[in-house]
Amino acid sequence: MGCILTQKADCGLDVEQIGRVDYRHLVPTVLAPEERSALLGLAEADRPDRFCEIWTLKEAYLKGRGLGISYPIRNISFSGFDGNRRCRVVGDERDDGSTWHFWSRPFAGAYSAAAAVRTQRDDVKFSATFIKDLP
> What is residue 48's three-state secondary structure?
helix
Most confident stretch, 11-25, 55-69, 100-114: 55-69
pTM higher than 0.75 for the full model? Answer: yes
Check residue 87 and give its pLDDT.
Answer: 92
Separation CA 97–CA 77 (nearest Å): 9
Whether 114 shows a pLDDT value over 80: the answer reads: yes
Check residue 68 and give its pLDDT.
Answer: 80
Q: Which of 105, 135, 118, 122 is nearest to 14 (CA)?
A: 105
Return the amino acid letter for 83. G
Separation CA 77–CA 9 (nearest Å): 22
Confidence category of residue 8, pLDDT binned at 50, 70, 90: confident
Confidence category of residue 38, pLDDT binned at 50, 70, 90: very high
Check residue 130 and give its pLDDT.
Answer: 66
Separation CA 23–CA 27 (nearest Å): 6
Whether 2 shows a pLDDT value over 80: the answer reads: no
When comparing pLDDT for 5 and 113, which is higher? 113
Check residue 22 and give its pLDDT.
Answer: 87
